[in-house]
Amino acid sequence: MRTEKRKLVIGILTLALLAFVCSPALSGTTMTITGTVNDESQIVTEEGKVYDIGDTEQGGEVVEMVDKKVKATGTVEESEGKMIISITEYEVVE
């Protein structure tokens, strides 16, 4: 009986530690990217990184700017192996 309780406590502590360590990665990071908007609702940087444009008011405006270079700021999260930026502000770069 003691062994089972010990295993349960260790399991709970392990899950709590895992949640603490992973929470910053799951919450997203605010960053600014610069790249060209393509016709697949993505921004492609000069380094070749691809960011899907998330469904926000500003994102809806940016997806209409196909072949334009933009500087976009927003929260970047990874989902199913893809990087998604939820744009909060942007500007067209000449």
- Domains in the chain: ranges and CATH: 28-92 (2.40.50.140)
pLDDT score of 35 = 97
In angstroms, what CA-CA distances link 63 with 18, 74, 91?
36, 15, 13
- Give the pLDDT confidence score for residue 91 in this predicted structure: 97
Q: Which of 74, 69, 7 is nearest to 35 (CA)?
A: 69
Q: Rounded to the nearest 5 degrees, what angle is found at the Cα of 33, between the Cα atoms of 72 and 57?
A: 25
pLDDT of residue 15: 75
pLDDT digits (tens, 9 = 90+) for 51-61: 999 999 999 99
Beta carbons within 8 Å of 37's beta carbon, 6+ residues apart: 43, 53, 62, 63, 65, 66, 67, 68, 69, 70
User: 3-state class of 61 per DSSP?
Assistant: helix
Q: How many residues would you count in the chain? A: 94
With a cut of 50, say whether residue 71 has pLDDT above it.
Answer: yes
Using pLDDT thresholds of 50, 70 and 90, give the confidence band for residue 18. Answer: low
